[in-house]
Amino acid sequence: MATRVGKYLFDIDLEHMSIEKLEHLISGCQKIIKNKRKEEIWRDFTALNLQAHSLGFDLCYVNPDDSDDKYVLNQYNFEVVERESC
């Protein structure tokens, strides 16, 4: 049996699912959403980095304690992490 919520049709019967299973479903969906957001940020970073390179610029991290200490951001040293893990 399926469940319709608005315009979406779920293959599973959410109405008769236990609260524990629904909570696991929520946490799984939230994880997938975060991963998709990370992919969006990576695509945006890549596009911005390519645009900067085509115009003769580099995207850099500048150490606030030492303005001469700069690192060019690229796919090897740029990482998207959750706020809680920083």
Q: What is the pLDDT of residues 12-30, one digit of tens each?
A: 888 888 899 889 889 989 9
Q: What is the pTM of this model?
A: 0.72
Per-10-residue mean pLDDT, the chain, length 86 = 78 85 90 94 95 95 85 88 81
Domain boundaries, the chain: 3-85
DSSP the chain: --EEETTEEESS-GGGS-HHHHHHHHHHHHHHHHHHHHHHHHHHHHHHHHHHHHTT---EEE-TT-TT-EEE--TTT-----GGG-
